[in-house]
């Protein structure tokens, strides 16, 4: 199977129009994580966020010839997720607190394409900082955050103490926080949801 990792989004869309499943998989892998983060921030429900993003990609595949993709694919996908979240919130109108929920969404999440692009840039910055960490710290951090391993498992695998593992992870997060000037909770959530 051909590798599409170096293809542009525009090239992948052209291949999807030709019903190339591998091209769709590449678009999915490239954009799923960041779209999921946005959906989760809006819905606060993991399963709902997953369903919304999944529906966006299903729609991309089934209706590719009907979609207006003159805009950047990032912008289209971001808008599609946002619109589906809005629809989901509207569909809750029979539930208690609908008006408050909708008002809260509009107040907190009146997002535009700039938010989506900025978050992608943040993710790229995180990647660059992680790559530049001292080797042992980087290995510990990646096993912890990307490999989802416990401190005990990492200590055993690398032949170091659990205390050292904890310190290395803490130091890596401090470096990320200081270099990015962003809250640690935001950095952790982006790393966790992008690499889950």
Every domain of the chain and the residues it spans: 1-110, 112-196
Measured CA to CA in angstroms, residue 54 lies from 11, 13, 46 at distances of 21, 17, 12
Query: Is 149 in contact with 157 (CB distance < 8 Å)?
Result: yes
Provide, rounded to the nearest whole percent, the portion of the chain with pLDDT above 90. Answer: 22
pLDDT of residue 107: 47
3-state secondary structure of 195: coil
Query: Is 135 in contact with 142 (CB distance < 8 Å)?
Result: no
Taking the C-alpha atoms of residue 51 and residue 126, their distance in angstroms, rounded to an integer, is: 27
DSSP run (H or E) holding 48: helix 46-62
Measured CA to CA in angstroms, residue 146 lies from 25, 37, 127 at distances of 21, 16, 12
112-196 CATH fold: Arc Repressor Mutant, subunit A (1.10.10)
Query: Is 13 in contact with 57 (CB distance < 8 Å)?
Result: no
Taking the C-alpha atoms of residue 20 and residue 39, their distance in angstroms, rounded to an integer, is: 26
CATH architecture of 1-110: Orthogonal Bundle (1.10)
Q: Give residue-wise pLDDT tens across range 25-82.
A: 999 988 898 888 888 888 888 888 899 999 999 999 998 888 777 667 888 888 889 8
pLDDT of residue 18: 92
Which is more confidently placed, 11 or 149? 11
pLDDT of residue 98: 43
Question: What pTM was estimated for this model as a whole?
Answer: 0.53
């Amino acid at each position: 199977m051909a590798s599409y990792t170096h293809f542009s989004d525009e090239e992948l869309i052209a291949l999807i129009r030709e019903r190339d499943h591998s091209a769709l998989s590449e678009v999915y892998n490239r954009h799923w994580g960041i779209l999921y983060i946005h959906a989760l921030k809006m819905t606060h429900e993991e399963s709902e966020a997953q369903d919304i993003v999944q529906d966006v990609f299903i729609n991309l595949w089934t209706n590719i010839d009907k979609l207006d993709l003159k805009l950047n694919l990032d912008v289209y996908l971001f808008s599609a997720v946002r619109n589906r979240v809005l629809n989901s919130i509207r569909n809750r109108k029979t539930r208690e607190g609908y008006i408050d929920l909708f008002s809260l969404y509009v107040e907190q999440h009146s997002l535009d394409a700039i938010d989506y692009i900025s978050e992608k840039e943040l993710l790229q910055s995180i990647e660059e900082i992680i790559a530049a960490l001292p080797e042992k710290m980087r290995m510990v951090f990646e096993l912890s955050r990307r490999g989802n391993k416990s401190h005990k498992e990492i200590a055993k695998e690398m032949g170091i103490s659990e205390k050292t593992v904890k310190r290395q992870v803490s130091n890596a997060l401090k470096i990320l926080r200081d270099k990015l000037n962003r809250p640690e909770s935001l950095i952790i959530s982006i790393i966790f949801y992008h690499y889950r």
